[in-house]
A and B are shown apart, each in its own frame.
Chain A
């Protein structure tokens, strides 16, 4: 079983649609969680961190369920510019250290069309 699993999609949605991505992780010791965005042939860039209480940044809402080891990303009012691959990322800190290692999911491809 992969440490971080995502539905690879692709998701094809019209502009203005609401779309949700899901992600599960296997290591219950994981401490922090992120969504990264990767445009075609570009490097990944941080979209948002994911907090236990849930957090929102404009049209983007991220949720974390530690009990189920599940992370989600909701995009409202999709724009053409939202077309990208969305990477679910989990940080797991090695015991006794102050740092951790990120594990990336395979990514979910989103295409927003006119």
Chain B
């Protein structure tokens, strides 16, 4: 079946502009995650949605970052007033958490460049 889909695959923006990144998870996956990966770095957790529970926003780096997940499916990550340090690959993952198992499947990511 279809995997996690992210759009756009690449985004170039000017400093100070707002951007929206989209993630379409695997059908039936109740959990959705956003991560950020800077060049040569590991994955940095941003936010987590699970069903109808309140999202875990503990990883968002500043109040310029926000995310929504409408209808329990598609999610949008919004970055307001982008800064150059926001340049990174933004990865989305989805999963069906089952007990201790939590295998996440990743999209190909959105490569954001802030000029």
Contacts and interface: CB of A to CB of B under 8 A. Distances in A.
Given A43-B107, A101-B56, A102-B33, A91 B102 contact: yes
Q: For chain A, what secondary structure do more than half of its interface residues adopt (helix, strand, loop), or is it mixed?
A: strand
Contacts of B101: 32, 49, 91
Nearest to B31: A99
A49 B87 CA distance: 31
A55 interface: no
A71 interface: no
Contacts of B91: 43-44
Given A43-B91, A87-B43, A107-B42, A100 B109 contact: no
Interface in A57-114: 87, 91, 93, 98-107
Interface string A27-51: 0000110100000001111100100
Interface core residue of A34, A98, A101, A103 (most chain B CB under 10 Å) = A101
Question: What interface size band does chain B fall in?
Answer: 20 to 34
B97 interface: yes
Interface in B18-61: 31, 33, 35, 41-43, 45, 48, 50, 56
Contact of A43 (B42, B45, B102, B108): B108
Contact of B50 (A87, A99, A105): A99
Interface residues of A, number: 22
Contacts of A102: 33, 45, 102, 104
B34 to A, nearest CB: 12
Nearest to B92: A43
A36 B102 CA distance: 13
B43 A93 contact: no
Interface in B94-115: 97, 99-109
A44 B43 contact: yes
A20 B51 CA distance: 38
Given A43-B107, A91-B101, A101-B56, 17 more contacts: A32-B100, A34-B103, A43-B91, A43-B106, A43-B108, A44-B106, A46-B103, A49-B103, A87-B42, A87-B43, A91-B102, A93-B100, A99-B31, A99-B97, A102-B33, A104-B35, A104-B43
